[in-house]
Amino acid sequence: MLPVERRSRIKALIQSKQNMKISELSELLGVSEMTIHRDLRPLLEEGLIHKTFGGITLASDVAETKQQTDSCIICSRGVKEQLAYRIILPDNQIETACCAHCGLIRHRQLGSEMNQALCHDFFTHTTIGAPYAWYVMDTSLQIGCCQPQVLTFANKKHAEKFVLGFGGEVYDFETALEIMHNKMNGQEGCH
Ligand SMILES: [Zn+2]
Ligand SMILES: [Zn+2]
């Protein structure tokens, strides 16, 4: 990876995570901590980030602007972190959707033109790669975001237990993507 690529990746990472350790960056990017320090210098000079003990943090004014502008790419609703669905584009830009409903719509629009998509487990709020998540639709529990609702789970058993209590259906990623697309195009009932 070229230094310039690495710097833009560091920029994207710190903008989405807000705090990172030097050791974490060195591991993620496969270069020495010394190299990371060198990569960080221009970002420090730009005032985008500040140094902390053993790491870096996004400058607070940048973080504030980010929070104000962190709205859904599809419906412009404000994004709640625990429901957020993020798509990382090939140029390391990050698109944020308010929930898996909008995330799946955006995901299908982009097709393969992305590096990665991430969502959160409904119970634990841990990050999951979207293609490995389980999707619950048509449940009775209201999460207060877009309709029809889509909830995401890391573990299929948890999703199935959730459905036992609150109703709905569990789908894998590919199926959820198609169903969402059909629902938004008014083709529901074809299956
Ligand atoms: Zn949305
Ligand atoms: Zn939503």
For residue 141, pLDDT over 60 is answered with yes
State which amino acid sits at residue 183. Answer: K
Query: Cα of 1 to ligand 1 centre, how many Å?
Result: 34
Query: Cα of 7 to ligand 1 centre, how many Å?
Result: 30
Instruction: Flag whether the pTM goes above 0.85.
Output: no
Instruction: Quote the strand ranges of the chain, DSSP E.
Output: 19-21, 49-52, 55-58, 85-88, 94-97, 116-120, 127-129, 134-137, 150-153, 169-171
Of residues 5 and 157, more confidence is placed in: 157
Edge-to-edge order in the sheet of strand 19-21: 19-21, 55-58, 49-52
Kindly state the percentage of the chain with pLDDT values over 70: 93
Domains of the chain and any CATH numbers:
3-65 (1.10.10.10), 71-184 (3.30.450.410)
Q: How confident is the model at residue 66 (pLDDT cuts 50, 70, 90)?
A: low
Q: How confident is the model at residue 191 (pLDDT cuts 50, 70, 90)?
A: very low
DSSP 71: B
Query: Cα of 98 to ligand 1 centre, how many Å?
Result: 4
Beta bridge partners of 134: 153
Residue with tokens 């697309």: 181
Query: Cα of 17 to ligand 2 centre, how many Å?
Result: 21
Q: How far is CA 13 from CA 10, 58, 82, in A?
A: 5, 10, 18
pLDDT tens per residue across span 77-126: 999 888 999 999 988 888 999 999 999 999 999 998 888 999 999 999 98
| Mean of the per-residue pLDDT values of the chain | 90
